[in-house]
Chains A and B, each alone.
Chain A
Amino acid sequence: MHTFAELIIVLIILLDLALAVTGSLSSCIRLVALQGVVAGLLPLLAGAPHPRALLFAAVIVTLKGAVFPWLLMRARDQSGARKDVEPLISYPASIALCIGAFIASSWMGSRLPLPETQVAWIVPASLATIFTGFLLITTRSKAITQVLGYLVIENGIYIFGLALFVEQPMMVELAILLDVFVAVFVMGIAIFHISREFDHIDTAELSELSDWRRAGDAK
C-alpha cells in the first residue's frame, strides 16, 4: 500500500512542477483540482478506511475536484481577462525556484522535529507544495492565480496534516476546508467585482490604489 501512497506523493510533486510552468489559466485550474483530488484520496490508502473517513474524502474530492474549479472557471470567463497566467518572472525561473523550494523542503523535512512518518517524502512534498502555492501567489499578476496559490497552499497544509496526524487529520482538514471554501467564494465574487470596476484583474494595476506615494510622485 505504501508504495501506492508514495506514487501519489511523487505525483503531487510533479503537479507542483507542472503548476510552475503552466501558462494557461484553465490548465492551472485543472492541475490544482487534480492535485486536490489526489491529495484527498491519500488517506484512504492507509489501511482499511473508516466510513467517516470515506465521507470526508467524498466531501473533499467534491469540493476540490468539482466546486472550486467550477467557481474559478466561472470567474475566469466572467472577468473577460486574458487566458494566460501572466507571470512576473519567466517560466524557467519559476521552475528553478520550484526545484529550489523542493531542495529546501527536503532539508527542512530532515530537520523538523516530527514523529516518524510511514510514507517516505510526505513532509518534503507537503512543504514543497506550500512553497509552490506561495510562488503562484507572489509571481503571478492575476488575482485568480492568487486564489489558485491559496488552494495549493491548502493542499500542502492538508498533506502536512496527514503526515502529522496519521490517524485523525479529518477535523483539522474540515476546519481548513470550510475556511477555504468561504475564501474562494468571497474571492470569486471579489474578482468579479474588481474586473467589473477596473476592466481587468491585474493586481499590478491595483497598486494605483496604494495610499502612500512619495511626495515627488504625486501628480
Chain B
Amino acid sequence: MLLVLLSFVILLFSALLALCLGRNPDRAQDAGAYGAAAASVAGLIPSVHTLISGNTWSLSLPWPVPLGSFTLTLDPLAAFFLVPLFILTGLAAVYGVDYLRHYSGRKPLGLAWAAFNVLTASMALVFTAGNAVLFILGWELMAASSFLLVLFEHEKAQVRRAAFIYITAGGTGALCLLAAFSLLGSGSAVLDFGSFSVSPGGVASAVFLLALCGFGLKAGSIPFHVWLPEAHPAAPSHVSAVMSGIMIKTGVYGIIRVLGFLTPWQEWWGWTLLFIGAASSLLGALFSLAQHELKRVLAYSSIENVGIILLALGLGVIGVVSRAYPLAGLAFAGALLHVLNHSLFKGLLFMGAGSVLQGAGTAELDALGGLSKRMPGTATLFFAGSAAACALPPFNGFAGEFLIYIGAFRSVNASGAPALAGVIAGLSLACAGALAAAAFTRAGGTAFLGEPRTGRAAGAHEPGPLMLFSMRALALLCLLAGLASPFLLLPAARAVGSGFGPASGYAAAQTAAVPLIYISAGGLLLLAIIAMAAAKRRAFLGGKKPAVGATWDCGYAAPTPRMQYGASSFAQPLTDFFQPVLRKIGQYPVISEYFPGRASFSTEAQAVFYNSFYYPVAARIRDLAYRFSWIQHGRLQIYIMYIVVTLMGLLIWKL
C-alpha cells in the first residue's frame, strides 16, 4: 500500500517538475517520462503482490472534506486493473519520449507530461479509491487531464471539436455518477464504499441505470460511444494508447464495483448489459471496418472490445441470478482477462499507429501502403497486435474470449434464461470476431502491404528506438500473456471473488484451464516450428541475399499503386451488405461508354449515432439555451441585480 502511495507521490512530483521545466523541453520530457516509468515500477509491485497473495490492503488518512474520507483500498479487483494501468502507462511514457520529441519547441511539452502523469495518478486513484468523494475527485481529474491531452494539437479544428465532444460526454457521465453515488450513500454520513447499502428494488435499479449511463459514457459502449472515435485519434498516440487501453476500462471497473454494491441483482440488468455489449461489439467491429483512418479503426475496435467485456458481464449477471454459477464464473473471469488483454494489445496497436503517423506523416489508409518494407519493425509488431485483436492464439486476445465462449456453450445445455443468453452471446461474439478480423486484415493490409499510394508513404521511416522498445515490450507481453493464460485464471477468479462475483466461480474458471493449457502448448509448438523454419531458411541461404523482383502484375503494361485494392474496395462487399446500418456516403462512377474517361470514387464513413441522435438533441438544447441568451449580455449592473434579486428572494422565502 505504501508503494502505491509512493507511486502517487512520484507521479505528482514529476508532473510538477515537468511543468516547471517547461522552458527546457528535453528536461521536461525526462522528468515526466522517467517519473511515470518509476511510478509504474513502484505501483506494479504491490499490485502484483496483491493478485498473488489475494490479500486486501487498506489505508485511511485524515481528509476534512464533507462526506469524504481519504481511504485507499487495494483488493484483488483493483489490483487486476492496476497491473495493466501501470504496465501501459510506463511503456507509453517511454514511447512518448521519442514520439513527442518531434513537437519539441512547437508545443508545451512540460504541460503535456504534467497532464500525462496526472492522468496516470488519477486513474490509479479511481482504481484504489474507497470513498465516493475521492473516487469522483479522481474521475474528474482524469477527465480534465485527458481533455488537455486530447487538445494537444489544438490548432486543428477537428481536434477542438473532438475535445469539446469529449468534455461534454465526461461532464454528462460525472453528473450520472453523482446521482448514483448520492442514491447509494443516502443512508450514511460518509460516502465510503464499505458503507453503501441499497434496498433491493426500484432504487437499486435506478442506481444501476445511472451507473450504466455514467460509466458507459467513459467505457465508450454503444450508444454512449460518440466521443470515443473523435477523441482517441485526436490525442497524441501514446495518450491514445493509454486512453483506449486503460482509461475506458475505468468505466468497466466502475460498473463492476457498483454491481458489487447492489446485490442481489435483477435479471433484466444482465439482459441490459448483454444487449449493450452485443450491440457495441457488433457495431464497433462493423464501424471499424468502414473507417479510413488507422487510429479511428482502432478506436472503433476499442468499442467492440468494451462490448465484449460488457457482454460477458451481462452473461455473468444472468448466470448468478439464475444460479448458473459455472457460467457466471467463466463469464466474469473472461471479462476481466479481456480487460487485461485488450489493454496490452490495444496499447501496442495505437503505438503502432503512432509510428505510422510519425513515419509517414499521415494515418489515412488511402495514403499509405507498402510500409512493411519501409518500417519492418513496426509492421511486424502491428501484425502481432492485430493477431491478438483478432483473438488468434498464441496471442493473448484469445484467452478471455475463449472463456466467454466456453461459458456460453456450456449454458446452452441448461434451460431458461442462461441458455438464451448463451446463444445470443455466442452468436454476437462470433459475428463480431469475424468482422474484427476483416477490419484488421483491411487496416493492416492497406497500410503495410502492397505499394505506397503516395509519396509520403514511400518516404516513411522507422520510429525512434524508444518507441520500438515500448512496442516490442508490449508485443512480448501479448505473447506471454497468451501463452501463460492458464496461470492468469487464478488472479482473475480472485478478483471476481473479491469484488462482486460468486466465490464458487473459481472452480468453474479452473475447468477452462485444461483446454487453455492445450492451446498454449499448441502455440508453443507453432512458435517452435516457426523458429525452426526460420533457422532452416538461414541455413539454406547461407549468407546469400535472395533476389528481389517485381510482383507479377497480371500482364498489365504499366501498373500503378492506384490499381491496388484500397481501403474502400477491400471492405466493399461487407460494407455494402451492412449499408442500412453504416449509411456511408459514397460517390461511385457510372460507366456508360465503351471507353470511359476520368472517373473518381470516394466513400465516407458516417458517425451514425452522432448524426442521427446526438447532434439533433444537442442542437435542440443549444437552441433552447440561445432563447435564454438575453440573460447573459455582459452588463455588470444587471448581473449584480440577479444576485440581489436572488438574495432578496431567499430572504423573503425564509421570512
Contact = CB atoms under 8 A, between A and B. Distances in A.
B635 A207 contact: yes
A212 B632 contact: yes
Contact of B637 (A138, A208, A214): A138
A207 B634 contact: yes
B655 interface: yes
A141 B637 contact: yes
B633 A112 contact: no
B626 A214 contact: yes
A210 B655 contact: no
Interface residues of A, number: 20
A209 B46 CA distance: 53
Given A138-B641, A138-B644, A214-B626, A108 B634 contact: no
B655 A108 contact: yes
B633 A207 contact: yes
B651 to A, nearest CB: 7
A210 B629 CA distance: 13
B420 interface: no
Interface residues of B, number: 15
Nearest to A203: B636
B655 A203 contact: no
Contacts of B635: 203-204, 207
B626 A138 contact: no
A137 interface: yes
A203 B638 CA distance: 11
Given A112-B655, A214-B626, A138 B632 contact: no
Contacts of A208: 634
Nearest to A113: B655
Given A138-B641, A138-B644, A210 B634 contact: yes
A88 interface: yes
A71 to B, nearest CB: 21
A126 to B, nearest CB: 13
A134 B633 CA distance: 19
Interface string A89-117: 00000000000000000001001100000
A207 B636 contact: yes
Interface in B608-648: 626, 629, 632-638, 640-641, 644
Contacts of A44: none
Given A207-B634, A207-B635, A214-B626, A111 B655 contact: yes
11 contacts: A134-B640, A134-B641, A137-B640, A138-B637, A138-B640, A138-B641, A139-B637, A146-B636, A206-B634, A207-B633, A207-B634
Instruction: Give 9 closest A-B pairs by Cβ, nearest first.
Output: A210-B634, A207-B634, A138-B641, A111-B655, A138-B637, A134-B644, A203-B636, A207-B635, A137-B640
Given A146-B637, A210-B634, 7 more contacts: A138-B638, A139-B637, A206-B636, A207-B634, A207-B635, A210-B633, A212-B634
